[in-house]
Structure 1
């Protein structure tokens, strides 16, 4: 089985360079496994849709979320001006560093996305994962890298961070209010697509 996130040196999909006021995050995209999510992200990035918007939801030891031009967590649209379907792959998982679509339930993808920041796996998750559809290789990868397995097959994974996890960690450490909104400025300056 080929798990692209565990074989990044063999992948040659497009790269996204998320330039933030905290530093740059470089992400390998997976168009083969999640073609609609990747097309949507690339086209929105190329027209400057994400320029100047903030990370509106930050939860340390979980994830950082952005992609909403209204900065409320309730906005944003896909390139098709309507929600698009989930694209779940048995080869992509919400490991630490995964780029995934945020949603409001099944098949409600728009423009919002998050990067998984959690760097460990709770022991009490391992047995349920074994009883579910997780292979030993995937469980071992979660043990090694961390992540958010409870999001698998609920949120479309379409990329993996290859550089800049230190930036993701710095953003995750930003001070937030009771609604997980950052108290200071945490902004995407621009997303460049490198093909």
Structure 2
């Protein structure tokens, strides 16, 4: 059985991602539920930091947070690294606080990897990788950003997630 795939259609182009169902089953199930509910449609990549990551899946064009389901358990593990092109769950300082927001690493970010069971060392759960469209992510990381209220690194011109759908391969 092959891993599930999701096509992110963004205002900058399409990004095809493969999800690591074997490495982070609960996280993939959670993400696919948001995809199936069409939750991500119309949301934006609201935090873009060149040489770090692009984050989306939680805010609308007005930077208003969309209500989510309950937070999930963090499945970060030492055998899956935050390498360039991987998707990971965004969270607060609380280890098990991820809901719908995710980020795409635009470079290797080993400091985000799982090191131990402490709050500082738990890391961010990698649950997928870009298989097509990394050039779109590379374009995203270069956009101009601004501060918007309490938020920093917000793209001046919004990067919209037009749709996120399961992608069936034959």
Shorter-chain TM-score: which interval? 0.7 to 0.9
CA-atom RMSD in angstroms: 1.7
Question: Would you say how many aligned residue pairs link Structure 1 and Structure 2?
Answer: 154
Q: CA-to-partner distance for each residue in 1:150-172, whole Å, 9 max, x for gaps?
A: 00121100001111110001111
CA distance in 2, matches of 1:31, 1:171: 26
Q: Of residues 145, 155, 166 in structure 2, which corresponds to 1:182?
A: 155
SS of alignment partner, residue 181 of structure 1: strand
Aligned to 2:125: 156
SS of alignment partner, residue 58 of structure 2: coil
In the superposition, the TM-score normalised over structure 1's length comes to 0.74
Which one has a bigger Cα radius of gyration?
1
SS of alignment partner, residue 38 of structure 1: helix
Q: Of residues 8, 30, 45 in structure 1, which corresponds to 2:20?
A: 30
Q: CA-to-partner distance for each residue in 1:83-112, whole Å, 9 max, x for gaps?
A: 111002332110000100000021111000
Consecutive unaligned residues of structure 2, counting only runs of 5 or more, are 115-122
State the 4+ residue runs in structure 1 displaced beyond 4 angstroms: 73-76
Say if 1:58 and 1:181, in contact at 8 Å, map to a contact too. yes
Say if 1:29 and 1:159, in contact at 8 Å, map to a contact too. yes
Structure with higher helix content = 1
CA distance in 2, matches of 1:14, 1:82: 23
Consecutive unaligned residues of structure 1, counting only runs of 5 or more, are 1-10, 119-146
Structure with higher strand content = 2
In the superposition, the TM-score normalised over structure 2's length comes to 0.85
